[in-house]
């Protein structure tokens, strides 16, 4: 899978991809992540990517020209399954969306900044808009990192124990059950005995029931 991220702050995005699962996924050649500096596609000597808003108002707006130049260049080199814009008014990211995008070969992620992007970008270049929550960030970079983490970790081969990702919260529409490790008894706080029974059927039934009860209590909207 190839992910091209268009941003005005590429350095801000470097760290998330240099550690842990995202780093190993790239080392295994299972995913290629490219951070593309939008300023490289500006047409003036100042590498401008934003300008004042027509009609007045506070804040600067990302210009269509450098974004179009960048997308045209990328699309001349390969086909893309999606061109995604990280936006607070996009569809809310969930596990189903992450699963779907993880199956793609090539995607572009555009990170908004300032007051947003020229509406013509959204109308003519973007194929999908995604939000990570009903709040506003300073830019789309952190949201793009969240999206990438959610899709890269479920690409087959990225996680050594591939069954682990299949039992994450939300994969079956439920929150994951509680988990425990050693010691069995910590100051009188004990691990549920059912988990030490060795009976996989009983353990699976217990975990399912715990997931159902936890989801009803914490995220009833999922039912």
The mean predicted confidence, pLDDT, of the chain is 94
Instruction: Give the CATH number of the domain where residue 188 resides.
Output: 1.10.1270.20
Cα separation, 14 vs 154, in Å, equals 21
Average pLDDT for 188-204:
97
Predicted confidence (pLDDT) per residue in 121-141, tens digit: 999 999 999 999 999 999 999
CB burial string 201-213: b at 16+ within 10 A, e below? eebeebbeebbee
Picking from 152, 181, 212, the residue at the C-terminal end of a domain is 152
Average pLDDT for 107-133:
96
The answer to whether residues 127 and 199 belong to one domain is no
Question: Would you state the pLDDT for residue 186?
Answer: 97
- Classify residue 72: in a domain, yes or no: yes
Angle formed by the axes of helices 141-152 and 20-27, to 10°? 60
Picking from 125, 152, 179, the residue at the C-terminal end of a domain is 152
Instruction: Give the CATH number of the domain where residue 10 resides.
Output: 3.40.1280.10
- The answer for residues whose C-beta is within 8 angstroms of residue 178's C-beta and 6 or more apart is 210, 214
168 alpha-carbon distance from chain centroid: 15
Report CA torsion sign: 156, 159, 162, 166.
negative
Q: Total domain count for the chain? A: 2
- The answer for residues whose C-beta is within 8 angstroms of residue 117's C-beta and 6 or more apart is 61, 62, 64, 67, 85, 110
The answer to whether residues 97 and 197 belong to one domain is no
Instruction: Please check the confidence at residue 167 and state whether its pLDDT lies above 60.
Output: no
The answer to whether residues 142 and 171 belong to one domain is no
* 67 neighbors 125 (Cβ within 8 angstroms): yes
Please give the share of the chain, as a percent, with pLDDT higher than 70: 95
198 lies in which domain range?
167-222
The answer to whether residues 141 and 53 belong to one domain is yes
- Classify residue 157: in a domain, yes or no: no
* 84 neighbors 70 (Cβ within 8 angstroms): no
Average pLDDT for 93-122:
96
DSSP 3-state assignment of 6? strand
- Classify residue 162: in a domain, yes or no: no
- Classify residue 193: in a domain, yes or no: yes
The answer to whether residues 105 and 199 belong to one domain is no
173 alpha-carbon distance from chain centroid: 18
The answer to whether residues 90 and 184 belong to one domain is no
How much is the pTM?
0.89
The answer to whether residues 136 and 43 belong to one domain is yes
DSSP 3-state assignment of 139? strand
The answer to whether residues 171 and 145 belong to one domain is no
Instruction: Please check the confidence at residue 215 and state whether its pLDDT lies above 80.
Output: yes
Average pLDDT for 157-180:
75
User: Given the structure tokens 């000597």, which residue do they identify?
Assistant: 45
* 154 neighbors 165 (Cβ within 8 angstroms): yes
Q: Are strands 189-190 and 185-186 parallel, antiparallel or unpaired?
A: antiparallel
The answer to whether residues 143 and 180 belong to one domain is no
Cα separation, 134 vs 131, in Å, equals 8
- Classify residue 61: in a domain, yes or no: yes
The answer to whether residues 100 and 190 belong to one domain is no
The answer to whether residues 131 and 193 belong to one domain is no
């Amino acid at each position: 899978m190839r992910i091209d991220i268009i941003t005005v702050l590429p350095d801000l995005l470097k760290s998330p991809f240099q550690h842990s699962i995202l780093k190993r996924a790239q080392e295994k050649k299972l995913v290629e992540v490219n951070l593309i500096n939008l300023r490289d596609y500006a047409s003036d000597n100042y590498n401008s990517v934003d300008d004042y808003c027509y009609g007045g108002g506070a804040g600067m707006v990302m210009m269509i020209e450098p974004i179009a130049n960048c997308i045209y260049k990328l699309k001349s080199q390969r086909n893309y399954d999606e061109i995604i814009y990280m936006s607070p008014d996009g569809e809310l990211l969930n596990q189903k969306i992450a699963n779907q995008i993880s199956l793609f070969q090539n995607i572009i992620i555009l990170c908004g900044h300032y007051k947003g992007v020229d509406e013509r970008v959204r109308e003519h270049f973007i194929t999908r808009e995604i939000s990570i929550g009903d709040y506003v960030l300073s830019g789309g970079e952190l949201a793009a990192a969240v999206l990438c983490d959610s899709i890269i970790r479920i690409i087959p081969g990225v996680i050594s124990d591939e069954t682990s990702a299949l039992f994450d919260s939300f994969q079956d529409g439920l929150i994951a059950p509680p988990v425990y490790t050693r010691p069995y008894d910590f100051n009188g706080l004990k691990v549920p005995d059912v988990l030490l029974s060795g009976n996989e059927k009983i353990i699976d039934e217990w975990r399912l029931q715990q997931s159902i009860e936890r989801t009803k209590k914490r995220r009833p909207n999922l039912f």
